[in-house]
Amino acid sequence: MKVLIIEDEQPAAHKLIRLLEEADKQIEVIDVLASIEQTINWLAVHPGPELIFMDIQLEDGISFEIFETCKIQTPVIFTTAYDEYTLKAFKVNSIDYLLKPIAPDDLKAALDKFNVLHRQQANYSRLESIISQLQPKTKERFLIKIGEHYRSVQTLSIHCFFIMERNTFIQTDTGKTYPIDYSLDKIEQLVDPGQFFRINRNFIVNFSAIQDILIYSSGRLKIILNGWTEKEDILVSRERVTEFKEWMDR
């Protein structure tokens, strides 16, 4: 297990390293950092360790400042001579809080807690992987009815899905409009979210069909779709503008 120590007092750091070696021979201390600035710079260029031991009072400030700059997903065990920061410690991703001088039994209990959480996370990740494999793939075709005939339309050839007069329609890359027996809520679950985006309650648009995007009134955006044949303007609702921009900027 790779461990990072953030501690500004060398004797305390050396003692913690010795205690860790005695507690578990598999632990590898990959670095010892003494300040907030040094830690922020280190985390910016190194892959995250498996566990961090972090003193709270460092030479250039309180270590909670690190969390304001860095997104730390690694579990943290705080070490400190004071107990006044206990509540704040557990508001970040802390799994334990050890008071100095650190007792070997307390350290072992903290490591045991980390190992339990680590196994639970590994099991959860495996479960997520299994669930994702069991989930259906995105829909490749939609069946439409044309008079007395049925036709299968490739999803990627659909420029948009929309609601008009309480019915759901598609418009294809040929400019033709057809009714389909799906709600937009259901369609949103079936199509590829990287390719299709629901811009408001009545429209889902295909990224490939977007010809232009115009700034519109009241903080909205107007979408110009290739081949759009209806009179209604296609507008991104105010509530979805930020998410739409992020989707376009993937």
CATH among 2.40.50.1020, 1.10.10.10, 3.40.1190.20, 3.30.365.10 for 141-248:
2.40.50.1020
Nearest-CA neighbor of 188 among 214, 160, 213?
160
pLDDT for the residue numbered 231: 84
Which residues are CB-contacts of 9 (< 8 A; sequence separation ≥ 6)? 55
Level-2 CATH architecture, domain 2-134: 3-Layer(aba) Sandwich (3.40)
pLDDT for the residue numbered 220: 92
Q: Can you give the residue ranges of every domain in the chain? A: 2-134, 141-248
Please name every residue paired with 144 in a beta bridge, in sequence order, or none if there are none: 151
pLDDT for the residue numbered 230: 83
Per the CB < 8 A criterion, the answer to whether 178 and 153 are in contact is yes
d(CA 25, CA 159): 60
> How does pLDDT run along the chain (250 residues), one tens digit per residue?
999 999 999 999 999 999 999 999 999 999 999 999 999 999 989 988 999 999 988 989 899 899 888 888 889 999 888 766 655 555 566 788 888 889 999 999 999 989 888 777 766 556 555 545 555 578 999 999 888 899 999 999 999 999 998 899 999 999 899 999 999 999 999 999 999 999 999 999 999 999 999 999 888 999 999 989 888 899 999 999 999 999 999 8
pLDDT for the residue numbered 198: 97
Per the CB < 8 A criterion, the answer to whether 114 and 23 are in contact is no
Which residues are CB-contacts of 166 (< 8 A; sequence separation ≥ 6)? none
The pTM of the full predicted model, rounded to 2 decimals, is 0.50
pLDDT for the residue numbered 235: 95
pLDDT for the residue numbered 86: 58
Residue type, 189: Q
pLDDT for the residue numbered 176: 92
